[in-house]
Amino acid sequence: MAQRLVAEVDRLPRRSLLALDCTHAQFMDFSYADEVISAAVAALNDSSVTEKFVVLRAASVPVAESIEVALNRRGLACVHVTTGGEVQILGALARAA
Protein backbone atom coordinates (compact mmCIF):
# COMPACT_ATOMS: atom_id res chain seq x y z
CA MET A 1 0.00 0.00 0.00
CA ALA A 2 2.77 2.47 0.92
CA GLN A 3 4.62 1.84 -2.35
CA ARG A 4 1.46 2.41 -4.36
CA LEU A 5 0.71 5.65 -2.54
CA VAL A 6 4.28 6.92 -2.95
CA ALA A 7 4.09 6.04 -6.66
CA GLU A 8 0.92 8.14 -6.95
CA VAL A 9 2.66 11.00 -5.17
CA ASP A 10 5.58 10.78 -7.59
CA ARG A 11 3.18 11.05 -10.54
CA LEU A 12 1.59 14.25 -9.26
CA PRO A 13 2.50 17.36 -11.20
CA ARG A 14 4.38 20.16 -9.50
CA ARG A 15 2.20 22.39 -7.29
CA SER A 16 -0.14 19.56 -6.31
CA LEU A 17 -2.10 18.68 -3.24
CA LEU A 18 -2.80 15.07 -2.30
CA ALA A 19 -5.95 14.96 -0.16
CA LEU A 20 -6.39 11.77 1.86
CA ASP A 21 -10.01 11.40 2.95
CA CYS A 22 -10.12 9.60 6.30
CA THR A 23 -13.88 9.94 6.77
CA HIS A 24 -14.54 6.19 6.98
CA ALA A 25 -11.36 5.20 8.85
CA GLN A 26 -12.43 4.47 12.41
CA PHE A 27 -9.07 3.12 13.54
CA MET A 28 -5.48 3.26 12.33
CA ASP A 29 -2.69 1.77 14.39
CA PHE A 30 0.70 3.42 14.70
CA SER A 31 2.38 0.83 12.47
CA TYR A 32 0.06 1.54 9.52
CA ALA A 33 0.23 5.30 10.04
CA ASP A 34 4.01 5.11 10.12
CA GLU A 35 4.32 2.86 7.07
CA VAL A 36 1.73 4.47 4.81
CA ILE A 37 0.98 8.06 5.82
CA SER A 38 4.53 8.90 6.88
CA ALA A 39 5.83 7.40 3.63
CA ALA A 40 3.59 9.68 1.58
CA VAL A 41 4.54 12.76 3.59
CA ALA A 42 8.24 11.83 3.45
CA ALA A 43 8.04 11.43 -0.33
CA LEU A 44 7.03 15.08 -0.48
CA ASN A 45 9.46 16.17 2.20
CA ASP A 46 11.30 18.72 0.07
CA SER A 47 8.18 20.66 -0.82
CA SER A 48 10.23 23.77 -1.59
CA VAL A 49 11.37 21.92 -4.72
CA THR A 50 8.36 19.75 -5.56
CA GLU A 51 5.61 22.04 -4.30
CA LYS A 52 3.54 18.93 -3.50
CA PHE A 53 1.70 18.55 -0.21
CA VAL A 54 -0.41 16.00 1.69
CA VAL A 55 -3.60 17.09 3.46
CA LEU A 56 -5.66 14.74 5.61
CA ARG A 57 -9.39 15.23 5.70
CA ALA A 58 -11.85 14.29 8.42
CA ALA A 59 -9.71 11.90 10.45
CA SER A 60 -11.28 10.75 13.72
CA VAL A 61 -9.45 11.65 16.93
CA PRO A 62 -7.86 8.18 17.32
CA VAL A 63 -6.75 8.13 13.66
CA ALA A 64 -5.34 11.67 13.88
CA GLU A 65 -3.47 10.76 17.08
CA SER A 66 -1.84 7.70 15.47
CA ILE A 67 -0.80 9.74 12.45
CA GLU A 68 0.55 12.54 14.61
CA VAL A 69 2.73 10.15 16.63
CA ALA A 70 4.08 8.55 13.46
CA LEU A 71 4.87 11.91 11.87
CA ASN A 72 6.44 13.26 15.08
CA ARG A 73 8.80 10.31 15.29
CA ARG A 74 10.05 11.02 11.77
CA GLY A 75 10.19 14.79 12.16
CA LEU A 76 7.44 15.28 9.56
CA ALA A 77 4.17 17.22 9.51
CA CYS A 78 1.03 17.59 7.44
CA VAL A 79 -2.21 19.53 7.51
CA HIS A 80 -5.44 17.98 8.80
CA VAL A 81 -8.84 19.51 8.10
CA THR A 82 -11.35 18.21 10.64
CA THR A 83 -14.98 17.39 9.87
CA GLY A 84 -15.84 20.75 11.45
CA GLY A 85 -13.48 22.59 9.09
CA GLU A 86 -10.80 23.31 11.70
CA VAL A 87 -7.26 23.25 10.32
CA GLN A 88 -4.63 21.45 12.41
CA ILE A 89 -0.97 20.64 11.97
CA LEU A 90 -0.21 16.99 12.75
CA GLY A 91 3.38 16.05 13.50
CA ALA A 92 6.52 18.10 13.98
CA LEU A 93 7.20 21.43 12.30
CA ALA A 94 10.89 21.16 13.23
CA ARG A 95 13.03 18.14 12.36
CA ALA A 96 13.59 15.63 15.14
CA ALA A 97 17.17 15.60 16.45
Confidence check: pLDDT of 96 > 70: no
pLDDT, tens digit, 9 for 90 and up, residues 4-22: 888 888 888 888 888 999 9
> For the chain, what is the radius of gyration of the CA atoms?
12
Cα within 13 Å of Cα(28), Cβ side: 23
The pLDDT of residue 22 is 96
The pLDDT of residue 9 is 80
Residue type, 1: M
pLDDT, tens digit, 9 for 90 and up, residues 54-86: 899 999 999 999 999 999 999 999 999 999 999
Banded pLDDT at 97 (limits 50, 70, 90): low
pLDDT, tens digit, 9 for 90 and up, residues 34-57: 999 998 888 887 656 678 888 999
β-strands 87-91, 52-57 pairing: unpaired
